[in-house]
Amino acid sequence: MASVTVKVNGRSYPIICDDGEEDHLLYLAEYVDKKVKDLSEAAGTANEGQLLLMASLLIADDLSQAYETIDGLRDGSKPDAENGQAHLQTIAEQLETIADRLEKA
C-alpha cells in the first residue's frame, strides 16, 4: 500500500492507496480543489463543509452528464451544440442559485 498527501482548500489530507495510484489521486485532488476554489470565489462566506459538499455535488453532476452523453452515443444519438448550450445555461443558473444560498447561509 502506498500513501500520498493531497491538498484541498489549503488543508492536507493523507490518503492510503494502491501502489501506482499516487499520481491519479493527486490529479483528482487538484480537480476537487479547483471546484472548491471556484465555489469559494463565487460564494464568498460559505464554510468549508458547505464548499466541499457543493463541490461534490458539482462533480457528481459532471459525472452524471458524462454518463448521459455516453448512453446517448451508445444509442446512436449525437449531442448537438444547441442542447450543450442550453445545458451550460442551466448549470450557470444553478451555480448562481447556489452562490446566493451560500451567501445567505
Dump the DSSP string for 45-80.
S--HHHHHHHHHHHHHHHHHHHHHHHHHHHTT----
* pLDDT for position 19: 95
Per-residue pLDDT tens for 7-18?
999 999 999 999
Mean pLDDT, the chain, as a whole number?
84
Number of domains comprising the chain: 1
d(CA 59, CA 41): 17
* pLDDT for position 103: 63
Structural domain containing residue 8? 2-104
